Amino acid sequence: MAKKLMKGSEAIAEAAVQAGCHLFFGYPITPQNEIPEYLSSRLPQVGGTFVQAESEVASINMLYGAAGTGERVMTSSSSPGISLMAEGISYIAGAELPVVLVNIMRAGPGLGGILPSQSDYFQTTKGLAHGDFRVLALAPWSIQEAADLIQDAFDLADYYRNPVMVVGDGLIGQMMEPVEFREDRRPIKELPPKTWASTGWKKDRPKAIINSLFLDPEELERHNFKLKAKYDEMEREEIRFAYYGPEEGELDVLIIAYGTVARVGLTALEELGEQGIRVGMIRPITLFPFPYEAIRNAADRAKHILVTELSTGQMIEDVHLALRDGRPLHFHCRLGGMLISPEEVIDKVHEILEGRSEEIRHG
């Protein structure tokens, strides 16, 4: 297929269709409305179903029902809507259902604003809801990558029987960029048939019970360990990140950023390179599992580390965990929907090198 100029939200929606998403349930919220709008007309064209739910609480529970029948399903929302879905996501993880969730993050807390933010990093990776579970979280930095990751997300969800969340800051939803959908795309995982699905019971297989209730503590403990084994496998097999900058030798500064903030970081890195400053950048693509080891290895050859985020400091806690040694970090953020500019990053790097930047210590 030729490259087509698409808005991020529409590319995400089309990617879902290309991946065989059959049902979408959602409730309007800016800045992701183009996803449900696009799918409301597109899904019926391919025999699928779109339902505008009465709330995000309803959409996530519709998703739970539809996923239980074995169909590929997706919902999307933005920060406050994801908060409302929390209980349902926990049930889905507990019942081991494959679903794809999209969060086009906006600034909070509360109603906050509608402009780009990365303030849901903790929510995505640490505290999506009650109970001991994880979701695999993918963070694209371009529209093409968003489309690719959405398609991978369906395979990963099916393989792990677990929710997979694609998180984009608001820019990912609103930007327009060229996108290409590959026609020869193959699943990235070997996917077993969904023998567990509830499709009507003719007594030719075990009865399908889609459920997260385990009243016997020993049974629940076994279930918890089974889930943990999946999260461990994700940590072994699914870490994705990208590195930019000099491959060898000492770095003056290592930048760590994800999503569109990393694009800004790359522009700054190139300009600083021209000034003779050696800057590298690690961009986590999976937020869970987090590329701890890659960050540790790159940090080993960096004099200074700079974390940039559109939050008051959320991913930086994982960077501290990655480094293990309590090493001080530098941090730059913009909040409330304001964006980080390449100039800000360049200035910050100069401040660091001139000893004018305040260091942040953890714990």
Partner 1 sequence: MAEPVFIRPESLSDVSTHYCPGCTHGIFHRLVAEVLDELGLRERTVGVAPVGCSVLAYNYFDCDFHEAAHGRAPAVATGIKRARPDLIVFSYQGDGDLASIGMAEIVHCANRGEKVTVVFINNAIYGMTGGQMAPTTMPGQVATTCQMGRDVELAGYPIRMAELISTLKTPAFIARASGHTPLHAVNAKEMLRRAFRYQAEGRCFSMVELLSTCPTNWGMPPAEAMKWLEKNMLPYYPLGVFKTPDGGDRAPHPIQPDGRD
| One of 12, 21, 35, 58 touching partner 1 (CB under 8 A) | 58
Q: What part of residues 20-49 is at the interface with partner 1 (CB under 8 A)?
A: 22-23, 25, 49
Element at 253 (helix H, strand E): strand 251-256
| Residue whose CB is less far from partner 1, 24 or 141 | 24
Largest CA distance in the chain: 73
CB within 8 Å of 283: residues ≥ 6 apart: 141, 241, 242, 243, 244, 256, 257, 258, 262, 265
* Using rule CB under 8 A, residue 195 touches partner 1: no
| Nearest residue to 79 (alpha-carbon basis) of 161, 173, 212, 176 | 173
- Check: CB of residue 155 under 8 Å from CB of residue 187: yes
Q: Per CB under 8 A, which region of 156-164, 206-214, 218-226, 292-300 contacts partner 1?
A: 206-214
CB of 101 to partner 1, least distance (A): 14
Residues 28, 30, 71, 194: which binds partner 1 (CB under 8 A)?
Answer: 71
Least distance in Å: CB of 124 to partner 1?
21
Minimum distance, C-beta of residue 205 to partner 1, in the bound complex (Å):
10
Mark residues 236-275: x for contact with partner 1 by CB under 8 A, - for none. Answer: ----------------------------------------
- Please name the residue that has the structure tokens 């009865």: 207
List the one residue from 17, 29, 73, 299 that touches partner 1 (CB under 8 A). Answer: 73
Count of CB atoms within 10 A of residue 109's CB?
9
- Provide the minimum distance between the beta carbon of 225 and partner 1 in the complex, in angstroms, as a whole number: 21
Tell me which DSSP letter residue 308 carries: E
> What is the Cα–Cα distance from 32 to 10, expressed in whole angstroms?
9
Residue choice 91, 133, 154, 331 for contact with partner 1 (CB under 8 A): 91
| Residue 59 or 174 having the CB closest to partner 1 | 59
Decide whether 16 or 58 has the Cβ nearer to partner 1. Answer: 58
- For 182-188, the CB contacts below 8 A with 24+ separation are 182/1, 183/1, 185/18, 185/151, 187/155, 188/152, 188/155, 188/156
Residues that bind partner 1 (CB under 8 A): 22-23, 25, 49, 51, 53-55, 57-59, 61-69, 71, 73, 87-88, 91, 95, 198-202, 207-213
